[in-house]
Structure 1
Amino acid sequence: MKLSPLSVPYRVLERGGSIVFTAAILFSGASAAFGPAGGPAVVALVGLALLALIGYEVAYYRRFEYALDGDTLDIRSGVISRRNREIPLGRIQNVDISRNVVQRALGVAVVGFETAGGSETEASLRFVEFEEAKRLQGEIGRLKRGDEAEAAGEGPDTTELFALTPRELALVGALSFDARVPGLLIVLLSGSVPALSSLLPDGSRRLLLAAGVVALALGVVLVAWAAGAVVAVLNYYDFRLARIGDELQYERGLLRRYDGSIPLDKVQTLTVLDDPLKRAFGYASLRIETAGYAPGSGEGGSEAAVPLAARDRVFALANRIEAVGSPAFERPPRRVRGRYAVRYLLAVGVLVGLLYGVDRFVAGSIPWYGPAALAPLTPVAAHLKWKHRGYWLGEDHLVTRNGVLRRRIKVVPYYRIQTVIDTRTVFQRRWGVATVTADTAGSLSLTGHDAAAVDVDTATAERLRRTLDARLRTALAARRGWIDDGRPDDGASGDADDEDADDNVGTENAEAGDANGVDDDS
């Protein structure tokens, strides 16, 4: 099969723009350096470059072929050097389709194939007709499932699970903030502050300068909020999530439309996220984590299943994906609140000490004692940190909860656990507590976002570690029984956690400094 013929002019226009831009710069320089002959020479060179680009893109189109051949996706490409690739269908996690405004007008799309453990797109087709992109998305899912009924023309059942309402889309924008904007604006505007201060009268210079700095800070915050709101609305416009057979399929985006698939047998964890503002108004977000790379997402293989919705809708959707029920969390022992309070007091003391050093040796007029006013609030912060931590052992899932400013409730099926890790830092041992982490194959585990029961009693940690180990083995044995009975394979093929799973089942005990632990709200 071939790419769309429209891919040739589109790729020429896409790459030719940089050539024309460079030519415009060279034209003015050549005219000044070489006189009247310089301009025509540049135009001739640009014409040759464009002809070479057109020839290359035509050759690329003619030599690019792809095919679904049994259990593999075969791609053959290359103009100067040939490249043949065979991607086993069992390794493909997601098939994602993206289209910008121009591509939608032309009826073409980019198809990306994401594989387990990949940090980037494994392969892509640039560009095929949109109908062909949808056919590939559905056909790969059917071949992986081995569904003969679909081959005969009977498509799988489609059930819409979630659609973002206009009110929820507005809230997504209102609660978004682009953290990159403040730094950029501060760099751009920092030079204007000294220049403006020199124009002010001497008597009112400090007062007006302070007012200007405050107004500038408020302006930066407003611009960052507005930029974040626009990006969020463009990204999640017309967000929809549906279940088609054994896959979740989502659509979102205004300027660039994403159309992706998430096989249910590749889902590693579900994460419900909220913050104090969302909790106050009863809202939350839901993320689905796979072992692959998800384009357009902010966290590796994590794809937003629900960017923002009422908590009841979020938990209802989570239960339709993984029937976890209603967790009843067991919190850490009450005594760890003292540990958190000590840590916060030490942080306040360090901040006061640093400001005192700056005041003593550099500035000479900084109110270095100001952070000491936070000391009475440390018991409250310690209580909130303790309150928002906990774990729950369900019949088929481990559920953990951690964080105050960014709280994560993680749902992990037992059969997805790779390793159970018992961590006891130097400071935890003094308080008689430990952290039990359920490591999965998801890419977020690399950033310390695994499901973890933090600061549980040491006896509880031992019991929890043994229980998770036993339930993991039981869950894997039950899944093997389903496969051996001839019923559908629910995802053993292609997953690291299901291949030779007995070799991957294990427990670890680790001791490290407090900085290496996972007892962190963020």
Structure 2
Amino acid sequence: MKLHRLSAPLRAASGLEIGQVLLFGGGGAVVGSEGGMGGGVVIGLAIVLVLFVVQLGWEILYVQRFAYTLTDDSLDIDSGVLSRRERSIPIRRIQNVDITRDPFARLAGLAAVAFETAGGGDDAEGEIRYVTTTEAERLRNEIQRLKRANDGGESDEASTSADVSRAETVEDTDEGREELFVLSTRDLLAASALSLDLRPLLPVALLVFEGTRYLPSGVASAVVGSPRLGVVLTAVGSFLASAAVTFARFYGFRLWRSGDELRYERGLVSRYTGSIPFEKIQHLVVSESLLLRRFGYAALDVETAGYGSQSAATRGSESVVPFAERGAVLALARSIEGFGFDTPAFSRPPKRARRRYAGRYAIAVVAMTTGLFVANRLFEFDPLRWWFAPLALLVVVPFAAHYTWLHRGVATDEGFVLTRNGFWRRTTEVVPYYRVQTVNEDHTIFQRRWNLATVVVDTAGTGSLGREGARAVDFDRHEADALRETVRRRLRRSVIERRMERRRRSSGS
């Protein structure tokens, strides 16, 4: 089958990088501005148009030579312009099928379909851009049906045929959909208001203190000449930017169960629809920022197997509940197949770990102050004249050390190991023993001085960017040894029990 005829212009528009536009278009505008501002703008737009036409020509050739075929066993994709690539993705290896509709694709009624396998990564040729939304849904439903048929085996063809027929009926009529969670407008606004994201802080600060210089002189002098006003504007701008990102990301979020997988849909500007097979869920992450904890809310993510680095949306970690009351989050987490955990009492690191945190935070404050002092000597940036301000943080160092210690812990029961870390954003990770890949005990040169160690429990979902596994941090070396052996022993036992259970099911069928 072929891509939609509008795929070429959509791919060309998305293929133009902002860096290319700024470099070539902006350079042309500057060169052409010698004959007047209007001439510079015209030349800049002309260069951008030429870039688009070149990109469009390439994409037309790419779309014409792109073909895909879905068979009973594999998804075959043939692509390439100068060099051809024939790729066959086994159906049984496909772990996730994500559907993305960016703004232009939504206007055209099209969608992009991405297929994630156990290999992970960001391979663009594991993606079909673009097809109609009906074709995208058909591909995802058909792949799910084929996976069910393959998992049914060949030993009982009649049973498999019946299961496949039921699956087709469920998918075609959507009668088997079980709604699990819907983010209401009220909760979305609350989640946006309570979002605590510091990433917009630096760009907003640069915009406030540097961008206002180009505004009328009265406004510029009011902001630049008053650091307090600049700080207030930076804080308000960062809050609004963070809230806007959260609102756009989770707008219209809903989660439902379809067969043996979870499905979700979200997004205001770009619409994402993804699937999460139950069998690929490695462990759960309950996260609570400081503000969420204060008002009794939390979020739930699942870590899935087979992802490398992050791709278009979030890879490796998928949001299942972006914002809800903590009790509801835990209830939904326990309803996920294989995760009927209790909430045992957490044991904390030894109290001497607090002294280690206090020393580390004090060193960080001094280093920050030193860096600002050097920057103040090298650059003329008005806020840097307050380089000594971070020294005030030394007052809160003991409290920061205490609360870091207070929110760390580990707990074990017969089926799961749970770890907890973080004050500003506390995360509780729930790992079933049968999902454990490795159990490592680490102790840095600084930990050895305090006779402390960290136990890291890795699953197949913790190889993605930024994921380090469930971590019991800064426990006494003897406690860490005991925890590591407990997890290893229960891992072996759980694997044996699951193997015996599969044999019983196989013999019973």
Question: How does the TM-score come out when normalised to structure 1?
Answer: 0.76
Within the candidate set 420, 435, 454, 2:454 is matched to: 435
Within the candidate set 228, 235, 239, 2:253 is matched to: 239
Q: How does 1:334-483 map to 2 (within 5 A)?
A: 334-348=351-365, 374-375=393-394, 377-443=396-462, 447=466, 449-483=468-502
- CA deviation after TM superposition for structure 1 residue 335, in Å: 3.5
Q: Which moved more, 1:437-446 or 1:69-78?
A: 437-446
**1:134 pairs with 2:137:** yes
- Structure-2 separation of matches of 1:163 and 1:410: 23
The secondary structure found in structure 2 opposite 1:326 is coil
1:159 is matched with 178
- CA deviation after TM superposition for structure 1 residue 254, in Å: 1.9
Distance 1:372 1:187, change over 3 A: closer
- Structure-1 separation of matches of 2:304 and 2:92: 14
2:345 is matched with 328
- CA deviation after TM superposition for structure 1 residue 272, in Å: 0.9
Distance 1:282 1:14, change over 3 A: closer
2:156 is matched with none
Whichever residue aligns with residue 109 of structure 1, its letter is A
- Native 8 Å contact 2:437 2:459 kept in 1: yes
- CA deviation after TM superposition for structure 1 residue 411, in Å: 0.9
1:284 is matched with 298
2:288 is matched with 274
The secondary structure found in structure 1 opposite 2:3 is coil
- CA deviation after TM superposition for structure 1 residue 101, in Å: 3.6
Within the candidate set 256, 264, 269, 2:278 is matched to: 264
For the aligned residues, what is the CA RMSD?
4.3
1:113 is matched with 115
2:78 is matched with 76
- CA deviation after TM superposition for structure 1 residue 169, in Å: 0.4
Q: How does 1:204-223 map to 2 (within 5 A)?
A: 212-223=226-237
- Native 8 Å contact 1:160 1:243 kept in 2: yes
- Structure-2 separation of matches of 1:17 and 1:379: 47
Within the candidate set 143, 164, 187, 2:146 is matched to: 143
1:85 is matched with 87
- Structure-2 separation of matches of 1:330 and 1:23: 59
Distance 1:361 1:7, change over 3 A: closer
- CA deviation after TM superposition for structure 1 residue 134, in Å: 1.0
Distance 1:458 1:10, change over 3 A: closer
What is the aligned length?
467
**1:4 pairs with 2:4:** yes
- 5+ residue gaps, structure 1, are 33-38, 489-522
Distance 1:127 1:378, change over 3 A: closer
- CA deviation after TM superposition for structure 1 residue 440, in Å: 1.9
- Residues 106-141 of structure 1 show CA distances to partners (whole Å, capped at 9, x for unaligned) of 322100112234231451111112111112112222
Question: How does the TM-score come out when normalised to structure 2?
Answer: 0.78
- Structure-2 separation of matches of 1:406 and 1:158: 33
- Structure-2 separation of matches of 1:407 and 1:267: 21
**1:172 pairs with 2:172:** no
**1:302 pairs with 2:317:** yes
- Residues 164-223 of structure 1 show CA distances to partners (whole Å, capped at 9, x for unaligned) of 0111100122133664544334445555788999999xxxx9xx7776222122222222
The secondary structure found in structure 2 opposite 1:3 is coil
Whichever residue aligns with residue 398 of structure 2, its letter is P
- Structure-2 separation of matches of 1:396 and 1:179: 37
- CA deviation after TM superposition for structure 1 residue 437, in Å: 0.9
Whichever residue aligns with residue 4 of structure 1, its letter is H
The secondary structure found in structure 2 opposite 1:232 is helix
- Native 8 Å contact 1:113 1:121 kept in 2: no
- Structure-2 separation of matches of 1:247 and 1:425: 40
Whichever residue aligns with residue 93 of structure 1, its letter is Q
- Native 8 Å contact 1:273 1:407 kept in 2: yes
- CA deviation after TM superposition for structure 1 residue 74, in Å: 0.6
Whichever residue aligns with residue 332 of structure 2, its letter is L
- Structure-1 separation of matches of 2:134 and 2:460: 33
Within the candidate set 309, 331, 336, 1:316 is matched to: 331
Whichever residue aligns with residue 323 of structure 1, its letter is G
- Native 8 Å contact 2:204 2:237 kept in 1: no
- CA deviation after TM superposition for structure 1 residue 281, in Å: 0.6
- Structure-1 separation of matches of 2:375 and 2:4: 64
- Residues 210-242 of structure 1 show CA distances to partners (whole Å, capped at 9, x for unaligned) of 762221222222222222222221221110011
- Structure-1 separation of matches of 2:293 and 2:396: 21
Of the two, which has the highest radius of gyration? 1
- Structure-2 separation of matches of 1:9 and 1:378: 55
The secondary structure found in structure 1 opposite 2:257 is strand
- Residues 420-479 of structure 1 show CA distances to partners (whole Å, capped at 9, x for unaligned) of 111123333333332111022224565353101112222221111111111112222233
- Native 8 Å contact 1:75 1:86 kept in 2: yes
Distance 1:107 1:337, change over 3 A: same
Within the candidate set 79, 98, 101, 2:100 is matched to: 98
Whichever residue aligns with residue 75 of structure 1, its letter is I
Whichever residue aligns with residue 231 of structure 1, its letter is V
Distance 1:392 1:16, change over 3 A: closer
- Structure-1 separation of matches of 2:21 and 2:408: 58
- CA deviation after TM superposition for structure 1 residue 155, in Å: 2.2
The secondary structure found in structure 2 opposite 1:411 is strand
